[in-house]
Structures are given as structure tokens and as C-alpha cells.
Amino acid sequence: MQNQIEYSRTQIALHWAIVVLLLGQYLLHGGIEAAWAARMEGSIPNEPFPNPHTIVGLIIFVLALWRVGLRVRHGAPALPEKEPAGLKLVAKAVHLAFYALLIGMPISGAVAWVAGIAVPADVHGVAAKILLGLIALHVVGAITQKIWFKTDVLIRMSPKRMWMKGGAR
């Protein structure tokens, strides 16, 4: 994996598309929870059927795989030189955890839904809470980069960069 100077337009678009889809998943998860509870208590048939949460989860899975592929193929901008080594390690760990969760959660959710078993559903629920914590840490980290370290880390993933002339590819 190489370091590139800036994120590509596609990388930025995928980042924000996943953000929007995740927001929807968290805000509208009540329907899938109700359907899951009904399935487990036997009030609806124990058969998989498409629902918005699973469809959006599949889309997130595909977009996350695409994003990982782009990162492996094209790399990502280097972390700021001034940043302490410990924070660089945290940033790398958080990004790795994001990718693992964005790929693993749709798998655990699909296995739970298709097989109708609780363990992967429980894993999915715990992973959702971990993902929320990582999102909070990611946002705090980006804001800290801007305010405390005075770097361009926050700007380089800005949606505006997708449309700037001479900006991200």
C-alpha cells in the first residue's frame, strides 16, 4: 500500500455514502429489531425475507469492500509528520477496526437473519455499539487534528473536495 497525496473523489464519495447509510441504519433500526424479536418468539415465520435494514447492510458491505480495495490499491495520504507516534497508531487501529466492522457487521447480520440464530445477532448488536464508539472517537480525532494540531486532516475528506477543480481525483 502506497501513500498518496490526497484521497480520490471516489474514496471521499464512498466515505460519505457509508456515513449517510450508517446514520440511516442507526436511526431506523427499530423495524429490524421488532421483526427479529417476532421471528425469535415465533409470531412471524422463521424465514428470511428482504427488509430495508438488510438491503442497506448489503450496500454498506459492498461499498466497504470497494473502499478497502481502493485503499489497498492506491493507499491513503500520510498522517501528519507532527502527530505523536501514539496517535498515529490509534488512527491506524481505528481505521482498521472500521473496515473490519463495516465488513463483519453485514456478515453477522446476514447470518443471523438467514439462519435465524441469536449468537450472530448478539455479535451484530455488540459490534454496532463498538462502531458508535469508534465513530465518536473518529470525529473527536478529526476535530482535534484541526483545532489542536492545526493539520489539514479534517479538510482532506471534505465532500467539497469532490467538486473542486484541481482537487481530489
Residue pLDDT, tens place only, 1-42:
556 788 999 999 999 999 999 999 999 999 999 999 998 998
Per-residue confidence (pLDDT) for residue 5, from 0 to 100: 82
Per-residue confidence (pLDDT) for residue 1, from 0 to 100: 55
| 3-state SS assignment for residue 4 | coil
- Domain assignment present for 154: yes
Per-residue confidence (pLDDT) for residue 154, from 0 to 100: 87
Q: How confident is the model at residue 55 (pLDDT cuts 50, 70, 90)?
A: very high
Rounded to whole angstroms, the Cα distance separating 88 from 146 reads: 15
154 to 31, 53, 85, 103, 168: CA distances (angstroms): 34, 30, 19, 24, 14
- Domain assignment present for 34: yes
Per-residue confidence (pLDDT) for residue 164, from 0 to 100: 75
**75 backbone φψ class: left, alpha, beta (φ>0; ψ -120 to 50):** left
- Domain assignment present for 167: no
Q: Which domain holds residue 92?
A: 9-162
- Domain assignment present for 1: no
Angle between helices 52-74 and 30-41 (to 10 degrees): 120
Tell me which H or E stretch contains 150. Answer: none
- Encode pLDDT of 95-154 as tens digits: 999 999 999 999 999 999 989 999 999 999 999 999 999 999 999 999 999 999 999 888
Q: What is the DSSP string of 58-106?
A: HHHHHHHHHHHHHHHHH-BPPPPTTS-HHHHHHHHHHHHHHHHHHHHHH
- Domain assignment present for 4: no
Whether the per-residue pLDDT at 48 is higher than 80: the answer is no
- Domain assignment present for 2: no
Q: What is the pTM of this model?
A: 0.91
Q: How confident is the model at residue 166 (pLDDT cuts 50, 70, 90)?
A: low
**Considering its fold, how many domains does the chain have in total?**
1
Q: Supply the CATH number for residue 115's domain.
A: 1.20.950.20
- Encode pLDDT of 63-76 as tens digits: 999 999 999 999 99
Q: How confident is the model at residue 50 (pLDDT cuts 50, 70, 90)?
A: confident
86 to 53, 79, 90, 145: CA distances (angstroms): 37, 12, 6, 14
